[in-house]
Amino acid sequence: MNFIEQWAAQRETAVHVERFPSAESFLFRYEEDKAFDILCLDIEMGAMSGMELAGKIREKNHPVQIVFITGYMEYIADGYDVEALHYLLKPVTQEKLGSVLDRAAQRVRDREKALYLPVAGSMVRISIGEIRYLEVQKNYVTIYGKETYTVKKTLGELEKELDESFFRTGRSFIVNLRYVKKITKAEVVLKDGTSVPLSRGLYDSINRAIIRYF
Quote the number of domains for the chain: 2
Whether omega for the bond prior to residue 21 falls within 30 degrees of 0, making it cis, is no
- For residues 94 and 1, give the distance between their C-alpha atoms in angstroms, rounded to a whole number: 11
* Cβ proximity of 162 and 174 under 8 Å: yes
* Average pLDDT along the chain: 90
The secondary structure element, H or E, covering residue 127 is strand 122-127
Say whether both 173 and 159 belong to one domain: yes
Based on the domain organization, do 24 and 57 belong to the same domain? Answer: yes
Residues 74 and 141 in one domain: no
Say which CATH number the domain at 158 has. 2.40.50.1020
pLDDT digits (tens, 9 = 90+) for 8-18: 999 988 888 99
pLDDT of residue 59: 83
Cα 21 from Cα 112, distance rounded (Å):
30
> Is the Cβ–Cβ distance between 211 and 172 less than 8 Å?
no
Please give the pLDDT value at position 210: 87
Q: Are residues 15 and 93 in the same domain?
A: yes
Lowest-pLDDT range of 98-107, 113-122, 140-149, 165-174? 113-122
CATH number of the domain bearing residue 86:
3.40.50.2300
Q: Rounded distance, CA 41 to CA 35, Å?
A: 17
Range of 190's domain? 114-213
Q: What is the DSSP letter of 71?
A: S
List phi, psi (to 5°) of 4.
-65, -45
Q: What is the largest CA-CA distance in the chain?
A: 56
Is residue 99 pLDDT above 90, yes or no?
yes
Asked whether residue 63 carries a pLDDT value surpassing 90, the answer given is: no
pLDDT attached to residue 82: 84
Q: Are residues 18 and 82 in the same domain?
A: yes
Task: Please indicate, yes or no, whether residues 103 and 124 belong to a single structural domain of this protein.
Answer: no
Instruction: Check whether residue 137 and residue 194 sit in a common domain.
Output: yes
Counting residues of the chain whose pLDDT is more than 70, the rounded percentage is 99
Q: pLDDT value at position 81? A: 79
3-state percent helix, strand, coil for the chain, nearest multiple of 5: 35, 25, 35
Calculate mean pLDDT across residues 60-83: 82
Q: Do 101 and 196 sit in the same domain of this protein?
A: no
- Predicted confidence at residue 120, as pLDDT, reads 82
* Domain match, 8 and 107 both: yes
- Which of 111, 135, 154 is at the close of a domain? 111
What does the pLDDT look like over 42-53, one tens digit per residue? 998 889 999 999
Calpha distance 166→162 (Å, rounded): 7
Clarify whether residues 107 and 127 are in a common domain: no
The last residue of a domain, from among 66, 90, 111: 111
| Span 18-44, pLDDT tens digits | 999 999 999 999 988 888 999 999 998
Answer with the one of 111, 143, 163 that is the final residue of a domain.
111
Label residue 72 by pLDDT band (50, 70, 90).
Answer: confident
**Predicted local confidence at residue 214, as pLDDT:** 67
Same domain membership, residue 196 and residue 147? yes
Q: Pick the residue with more confidence: 98 or 212?
A: 98
Decide if 207 contacts 183 (C-beta within 8 A).
Answer: yes
Has residue 79 got a pLDDT over 80? no
If asked whether residues 60 and 151 sit together in one domain, one would say no
